[in-house]
Amino acid sequence: MTGTQEWQALDARHHLHPFTNHGELAQKGSRIIVKGEGCYLIDSEGRRIIDGMAGLWCVNLGYSEHRLVEAATRQMAVLPYYNTFFQCATPPAIELAAAIAEVTPAGLDRIFFTNSGSEANDTAIKLVWFYWNLMGQPEKKIMISREFGYHGVTLAAASLSGQWPMHPQHDLPLARFTHVGAPYWYGQGGELSPEAFALQAAGELEAKILALGPERVGAFIGEPIQGSGGVIIPPPGYWAEIQRICRKYDVLLIADEVICGFGRTGRWFGSDTFAIQPDLMTMAKGLSSGYQPIAALAIGPRVGEALVGSGQEWFHGYTYSGHPVAAAVALATIRVLRDDRLIERANGPISRYFADALASLADHPLVGETRSCGLIGAVELVEDQAARRHFAPARKVGLMCRDHCIEQGLVMRAIRDIMVLSPPLIITEAEIDEIVTKARAAFDLTLRDLG
Ligand SMILES: Cc1ncc(COP(=O)(O)O)c(C=O)c1O
């Protein structure tokens, strides 16, 4: 049997990881995860680790949902693959499209399948450009997104992303992509109230549209809550103002629901939580609870009718668009979310328990703010609580704390010095207590290391 050291050696020799410094990883050796059980991971040394991140913000039903395993097994036996090109479809793809249309906000009734969130966002961009071509406005193509936004890694999705270190290695962003600031009140709001800062941050979009010329701006894209940018929850009023600006200047609005979708914020979509009415919506992750790679773009009536009525073939699609096994698993995921009332749960007592548990950490000397919405949350580690001042980035306080979390048996991710959580929606009160106890111990060790 292969053991940890052999796996680590093979991994270092042959396997390239996403977003990784490979020299550093080869020195350290990867952590090999061999099993999942409910909200827990088990590594190759037999250690049980509570997964406060639901994998990568996706395993919303936890690691032991037999109804998803059965859906996959059943579909594998009947029809493991067929494509949706050449005027064909499969029952799972059709039924999943209808099920998604039922849970998305009104009008987002046409669904196109991809394999990843990046591809869903790429597809949205292509459709925006095709739409404005069809409308006879070929100049209206500039995409506006935000600092701290993350929309994926394909050339276009990485261009949308506003995490600056992603750009120079690949000569990005491409032409036609530009960015505005984020509604990050805690880090950037200064003396303004959250509400005043919301209007200022949204106002940056209006200023950018006016500077570029509304006739050149095709769409604005944003995550309802910016997840991998640091769980940035927009202050009240932000999204209403963004919506007003997009309407005023006839700019299409795209909601990237890859993290927020399927119950994470306590409603089906972040767009429901923040009353956003997007023209296009991308989703992935929670769609299949991470059990299969599948993502989708939901298209509203304006763009949908233009596409369907264009009389043209749309030259776009993936071999695995609407893969029947992935679609069957996603369909089963939506059924479980409904049958077990998990979205109501994420909007009810468990989300309050989660918020209170995070808030209980606020008395720690390192903690500047705790915040959450549904079952996504963050804890800001700061040097000066009163001034909302972070540590110098070179001190890598977040990474130090993340390593202590792992030593305690907790997966909590560090984004800069923001410790974030996005646990499975099935998490229990006792498991939330365990997360918070382990997080506090990790904060104590971090404080000790900082001297
Ligand atoms: C908001 C958001 N959009 C898009 C993506 C990209 O999705 P994928 O990694 O499936 O390409 C992610 C991934 O984390 C995401 O968080």
Answer for the pair 322, 401: CB distance below 8 angstroms, yes or no. no
Structure tokens at 290: 């991470």
Q: Beta strands 40-43 and 33-37: pairing type?
A: antiparallel
CA 129 / ligand 1 centre spacing (Å): 21
> 63-96 pLDDT, tens per residue?
999 999 999 999 999 999 999 999 999 999 999 9
Which sign, positive or negative, has the C-alpha torsion 364, 365, 371, 376? negative
What mean pLDDT do residues 200-219 have? 98
| CA gap 409, 295 in Å, rounded | 31
- Please name the residue whose Cα sits nearest to atom 8 of ligand 1: 117
Residue ranges of domains in the chain: 31-64+348-450, 68-339
Confidence label for 1 from pLDDT (cuts 50, 70 and 90): low
Q: Please determine, for residue 252, whether its predicted confidence score (pLDDT) is greater than 80.
A: yes
Alpha helices by DSSP H, 138-289:
155-160, 185-188, 194-212, 238-248, 270-273
| CA gap 371, 359 in Å, rounded | 8
- Per-residue HEC secondary structure of 322-391 comes to CCHHHHHHHHHHHHHHHHCCHHHHHCCHHHHHHHHHHHHHHHCCCEEEEEEECCEEEEEECCECCCCECC
Confidence label for 45 from pLDDT (cuts 50, 70 and 90): very high
CA 117 / ligand 1 centre spacing (Å): 5
Q: What's the confidence (pLDDT) of residue 28?
A: 94
What mean pLDDT do residues 242-254 have? 98
> 385-439 pLDDT, tens per residue?
999 999 999 999 999 999 999 999 999 999 999 999 999 999 999 999 999 999 9
- Please name the residue whose Cα sits nearest to atom 13 of ligand 1: 152
Q: What is the DSSP string of 389-425?
A: BPPPGGG-HHHHHHHHHHHHTEE-EEETTEEEE---T
Topology match between the domains 31-64+348-450 and 68-339: no
Which sign, positive or negative, has the C-alpha torsion 191, 192, 198, 204? negative
Q: What is the DSSP string of 79-133?
A: -S---S-TT---HHHHHHHHHHHHHSSTT--EEEEESSHHHHHHHHHHHHHHHHH
Q: Please determine, for residue 2, whether its predicted confidence score (pLDDT) is greater than 80.
A: no
Q: Please determine, for residue 184, whether its predicted confidence score (pLDDT) is greater than 80.
A: yes
In three-state secondary structure terms, 170 is helix
In three-state secondary structure terms, 146 is strand
The architecture CATH gives domain 68-339: 3-Layer(aba) Sandwich (3.40)
CA 361 / ligand 1 centre spacing (Å): 29
Residue 243's alpha-carbon distances to 74, 128, 178, 386, in angstroms, are 43, 17, 18, 33
Q: Greater confidence, 2 or 316? A: 316
Confidence label for 255 from pLDDT (cuts 50, 70 and 90): very high
Q: Which CATH superfamily is domain 31-64+348-450 in?
A: Aspartate Aminotransferase, domain 1 (3.90.1150.10)
Q: Which atom of ligand 1 is closest in space to residue 260's alpha carbon?
A: 1
> 7-42 pLDDT, tens per residue?
999 999 999 999 999 999 999 999 999 999 999 999
Q: How far is CA 186 from the centre of its chain?
A: 20
- Ligand 1 site: residues with CB under 6 angstroms? 116-118, 121, 150-152, 223, 227-228, 256, 258-259, 284, 295
